[in-house]
Amino acid sequence: MASPRLETYCCPNRDAATQLVMNFQPEVFCGVCIGSASVSLLLTILQLLPKKGQSPRKMPKASSSSTILLLISICDILGGLGIIFRSSVWLGFPGFIANISVVNGTDVWPSAFCVGSAMWIQLLYSAGFWWLFCYAVDSYLVVRRSAGLSTIVLYHMMTWGLAVMLCVEGIALLYYPSLSSCENGLEHAIPHYVTTYAPLLLVLVVNPILFRRTVSAVASLLKGRQGIYTENERRLGTEIQMRFFKIMLVFIICWSSNIINESLLFYLEMQPDINEMPLKNIRSAALITWIIMGVLNPMQGFLFTLAFYGWTGCSVDLKRRKREIPWESMSSSTTGDNAYPSPVNYQSSIHDSKKISTTDSQQTDEAISMLSEGNTSGDDIITRSSPIYQGW
**285 HSE (CA, 13 A, CB side):** 17
For the chain, how far is it from start to end, CA to CA, in angstroms?
Answer: 54
Flag whether pLDDT at 306 surpasses 70.
Answer: yes
pLDDT of residue 261: 94
With beta carbons less than 8 A apart as the criterion, state whether 323 and 56 touch.
no
Q: How many residues does the chain have?
A: 392
Lowest-confidence range among 60-69, 78-87, 127-136, 303-312?
A: 60-69
pTM to 2 decimals?
Answer: 0.82
Which band of pLDDT confidence, cut at 50, 70 and 90, is reported for residue 336?
very low
Architecture of the domain whose range is 4-50+60-307: Up-down Bundle (1.20)
Kindly state the helix (H) or strand (E) to which residue 220 belongs, with its residue range: helix 186-226
Report helix, strand or coil for 148.
coil
The Cα–Cα gap between 48 and 35 comes to: 20
Q: What does the angle CA 17 – CA 19 – CA 23 come to, to the nearest 5 degrees?
A: 130
Q: Domain boundaries in the chain? A: 4-50+60-307
- Residues 139-157 have pLDDT tens digits of 998 887 766 556 888 999 9
pLDDT of residue 320: 55
User: Angle formed by the axes of helices 109-143 and 64-92, to 10°?
Assistant: 160
The Cα–Cα gap between 76 and 143 comes to: 27
